[in-house]
């Protein structure tokens, strides 16, 4: 780092942390900037002087207010970037109300994300084989949420998000989500998307001499892990959703990383999720599952 | 709020309770915002809107659904959409 390096604060969730890590690893950026990550949960131990010395503030657009106690100087250049999420490919995805941590194997639980259809079936007392059959019918049932309407909703959401961000990514997501895997789960962006956001963030936040080639950023993102940088947890896409949106990269039999260092295909994941919801729902209700 | 709006709001309240798995006696009013309900983020907002559209058999204007500040505004949006399609 050169003497007199600028101080750059990157504020936000785990996605922002990953972005800060990549920025720190890019020589063209790191030589002239001291990149500091600030968690958005209020537990960051960043010193007040560090915030006060901030020259550039990269703020992930979020509903959470910036950490109380830290002040960003008015002269600092502020660049807002979006949270990366896509609901479109997981229309039934919801937080799992029955999920509980099971350390050490499952510190965040077996299935942090669940599925409203499966939960509703389990709550009606359906047995697992019947839920499995109903979950994968031959065609998308008319009574299920409209995927076309869902696409319109997601387009509106991304557009609204872009309107409040300096780094705009909604159009890119909608243009490429069929051609390339951009997300592993609703809130888990793939390397390809992370690299694109970082490219655009650098473009918006740094000088021309600090810009990086896309391939250098992609290499930096890929350099952190043999898996994807944020690819620890995946939710397989429903085959009828993949068919509807003509996802070119989709493979129903691809084994994907799941909590507990497991790798499960769509069918394995679905079967395990159904069994788990029946089991944990019964436990939550104080009943012994059949 | 007139009787028709009362009815619309009562239905929206029931949808909110079901969508976010709240207890039946949850304090949900016209001033309730996303910040007041655990799990109500931009993604579940889309699910909520689709549930509302299905219940009222109407499409809400997408350029406005992400700008509603509270459930009272959502009820107004539903009322406007229903009036426009009547």
Residue B82, token pair as written in the block: 């229903």
Q: What is the mean pLDDT of residues B54-81?
A: 93
pLDDT of residue A6: 86
A146 with B21: Cβ contact below 8 A: no
**Distance of residue A63 Cα from the nearest chain B Cα, in angstroms:** 9
Please answer whether residues A40 and A71 qualify as being in contact, where contact means their C-beta atoms are separated by less than 8 angstroms.
no
A11 backbone dihedrals φ, ψ, rounded to 5°? -115, 135
Preferred mutation among B62, B63, B69 to probe A, highest tally of A CBs within 10 A: B62
Q: Are A146 and B50 an interchain contact pair (Cβ–Cβ within 8 Å)? A: yes
For A155, name the nearest residue in chain B, comparing CA atoms only.
B62
Quick: pLDDT tens for A95-115: 899 999 999 888 889 999 999
Contact B43 A153 (CB under 8 A): no
Q: Which CATH class is domain B3-85?
A: mainly alpha
Q: Complex ipTM, two decimals?
A: 0.79
Q: pLDDT band for B1, please (50, 70, 90 cuts).
A: low
Chain A residue numbers touching B39 (CB-CB < 8 A): 95
How many Cα atoms are found within 13 Å in the side-chain-facing hemisphere of A89? 28
A with B: how many residue pairs have Cβ under 8 Å apart? 44
Contact B46 A87 (CB under 8 A): yes
Cα separation, A121 vs B44, in Å, equals: 20
Domain with CATH 3.40.50 in chain A: 1-81+193-229
Numbered residues of chain A with Cβ closer than 8 Å to any chain B Cβ: 63, 83, 85, 87, 94-95, 97, 116, 145-146, 149-150, 152-157, 160-161, 186-187
CA distance B47 to chain A (A): 8
Q: How far is B3 from chain A (nearest CA, A)?
A: 30
Report the residue from B34, B41, B62 with minimal CB separation from A153. B62
What is the average pLDDT across A19-31?
A: 94
A247 touches A237 (CB < 8 A): yes
A127-171 pLDDT, tens digit each: 999 999 999 999 999 999 999 999 999 999 999 999 999 999 999
Fold of the A1-81+193-229 domain: Rossmann fold (3.40.50)
Task: Count the Cβ atoms, other than its own, within 10 Å of residue B8.
Answer: 22
Residues of A in contact with B35 (CB under 8 A): 63
pLDDT-based confidence at A289, cuts 50/70/90? very low
Sign, Cα dihedral of A122, A126, A130, A135: negative
pLDDT band at B5 (very low <50, low <70, confident <90, very high): low
Candidates A116, A153, A187; nearest CB to B46: A153
Chain B residue with Cα closest to A90: B43
The answer to whether A156 contacts B53, with C-beta atoms less than 8 Å apart, is no
* HEC readout, chain A: CCCCCEEEEEEECHHHHHHHHHHHHCHHHHCCEEEEEEECCCCCCCCHHHHHCCCEEEEECCCCCCCCCCCCCCCCEEEEECCCCCCCCCCCEEECCCCCCECCCECCCCCCEEEHHHHHHHHCCCCHHHHHHHHCCCCCCCCCCCHHHHHHHHHHHHHHHHHCCCCCCHHHHHHHCCCCCCEEECCEECHHHHHHHHHHHHHHHCCHHHCCCHHHHHHHHHCCCCCCCCCCCCCCCCHHHHHHHCCCCCCCCCCEEECCCEEECHHHHHHHHHHHHHHHHHHHCCCCCC
pLDDT band for position A290 (50/70/90)? very low
């Amino acid at each position: 780092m050169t003497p007199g390096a600028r101080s750059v604060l990157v504020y936000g969730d785990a996605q922002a942390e990953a972005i800060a890590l990549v920025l720190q690893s890019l020589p063209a950026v790191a030589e002239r900037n001291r990149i500091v990550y600030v968690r958005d949960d209020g537990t960051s131990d960043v010193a007040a002087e560090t915030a006060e010395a901030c020259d550039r503030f990269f703020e992930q657009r979020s509903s959470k207010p910036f950490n109380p106690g830290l002040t960003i100087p008015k002269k600092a250049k502020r660049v807002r970037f979006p949270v990366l999420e896509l609901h479109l490919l997981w229309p039934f995805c919801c937080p799992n109300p029955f999920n509980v941590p099971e350390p050490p194997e499952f510190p965040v639980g077996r299935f942090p994300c669940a599925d409203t259809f499966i939960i509703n079936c389990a709550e009606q007392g359906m047995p697992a084989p019947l839920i499995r059959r109903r979950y994968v019918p031959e065609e998308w049932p008319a009574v299920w949420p409209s995927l076309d309407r869902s696409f319109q909703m997601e387009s509106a959401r991304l557009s609204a998000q872009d309107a409040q961000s300096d780094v705009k990514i909604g159009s890119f997501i909608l243009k490429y989500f069929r051609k390339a895997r951009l997300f592993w789960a609703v809130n888990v962006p793939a390397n390809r998307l992370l690299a694109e956001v970082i490219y655009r963030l650098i473009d918006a936040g740094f000088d021309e001499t600090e810009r990086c080639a896309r391939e250098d950023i992609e290499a930096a993102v890929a350099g952190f892990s043999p898996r994807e940088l944020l690819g620890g947890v995946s939710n397989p896409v429903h085959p009828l959703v993949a068919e509807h949106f003509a996802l070119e990269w989709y493979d129903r039999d691809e084994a994907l990383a799941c909590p507990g260092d497991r790798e499960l295909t769509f069918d394995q994941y679905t079967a395990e999720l159904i069994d788990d919801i029946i089991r944990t729902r019964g436990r939550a209700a104080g009943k012994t599952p059949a | 709020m007139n009787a028709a709006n009362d009815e619309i709001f009562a239905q929206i309240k029931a949808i909110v309770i079901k969508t976010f798995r709240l207890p039946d006696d949850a304090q949900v009013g016209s001033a309730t915002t996303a910040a007041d309900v655990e799990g109500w983020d931009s993604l579940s907002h889309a699910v909520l809107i689709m549930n509302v559209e299905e219940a009222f058999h109407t499409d809400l204007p997408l350029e406005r659904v992400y700008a509603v500040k509270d459930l009272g505004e959502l009820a107004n949006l539903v009322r406007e959409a229903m009036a426009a399609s009547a």
